[in-house]
Structure 1
Amino acid sequence: MEKHNHNLNIHYSSPDYIWDKLAELYSGMPGWSGFIDGITYWYAQDNDKRRINASVEPSGLQFYAEMQQEEWDEWFELFKNKGSATLGFEIGEPEDGFEFHIYG
């Protein structure tokens, strides 16, 4: 297992309707486990050694994962693609030049 830490350009101050859309996206992703103590989890059940969780941070939507590199790359790319389609703006890592979509 490898550890992965990545941020996406989804700002913590996004309006509720954005978080509602993300909640729907979360549940449609492979390995969805649900919200545990308010934090989203995937693959966190039945003694699965893999895990992904996401939290809202000032740096953006932050993901932490423990899984093989190839599987993580596929999962994360799927999330970014589905997120872009769902939210209506391109989702990516700020470190790669993706800007935050600020509302208001």
Structure 2
Amino acid sequence: MHSDDPVRCTAWVRGKVQEVGFRWWTRARAMEIGLTGYTSNLGDGRVQVVAEGSHQDCERLLALLRGPGTPGAVTGVTEIWSATGDGYDSFAIR
């Protein structure tokens, strides 16, 4: 992929990240950065974040997800990178 091409970053956030406003916080940060995608709770207690935009902007979101200012208590973030799909109109909470 060319560095200017949009990318998709799918991240799984572990820790105490449900019932603490984590998805709302993530949506606000993603929208401030200008990313599209969504965030959703998973049945195993993790939160999934799918973000599309520039590689640099996705990296900014990942840094925030790993940073000290998140709601709850993040113990780890795992991500994979891919080409964008059909795209998203905004950043949603699912």
TM range (shorter): 0.5 to 0.7
Task: State the Cα deviation string for residues 23-53 of structure 1 (Å, max 9, x = none).
Answer: 5634652516xxxxxxxxx85xxxxxx4031
- After TM superposition, the structure 1 = structure 2 runs for residues 30-45 of structure 1, keeping only pairs within 5 Å, are 30-31=30-31, 43=34
Change (3 A) 1:57 1:51: same
Alignment gaps of 5+ in structure 2: 1-5, 80-94
The structure where helix makes up a greater share of residues is 1
The Cα of 1:57 is off from its aligned counterpart by: 1.3
Change (3 A) 1:7 1:53: same
The count of residues paired between Structure 1 and Structure 2 equals 72
Q: Alignment identity in percent?
A: 10
Please state if 1:61 is matched with 2:66: no
1:99 aligns with: none
RMSD of Structure 2 on Structure 1 (CA) = 3.1
Alignment gaps of 5+ in structure 1: 33-41, 44-49, 96-104
Higher RCO (CA-CA < 8 Å; seq separation 6+): 2
3-state DSSP of counterpart to 1:19? coil
Give the TM-score normalised by structure 1. 0.50
Change (3 A) 1:65 1:94: closer
Structure (1 or 2) with the larger CA radius of gyration: 1
Give the TM-score normalised by structure 2. 0.54
Cα separation, 1, equivalents of 2:10 and 2:78 = 13
- After TM superposition, the structure 1 = structure 2 runs for residues 19-30 of structure 1, keeping only pairs within 5 Å, are 19-22=19-22, 25-26=25-26, 28-30=28-30
1:52 aligns with: 37
The Cα of 1:7 is off from its aligned counterpart by: 0.3
Q: Is the 8 A contact 2:27 2:38 kept in 1?
A: no
1:102 aligns with: none
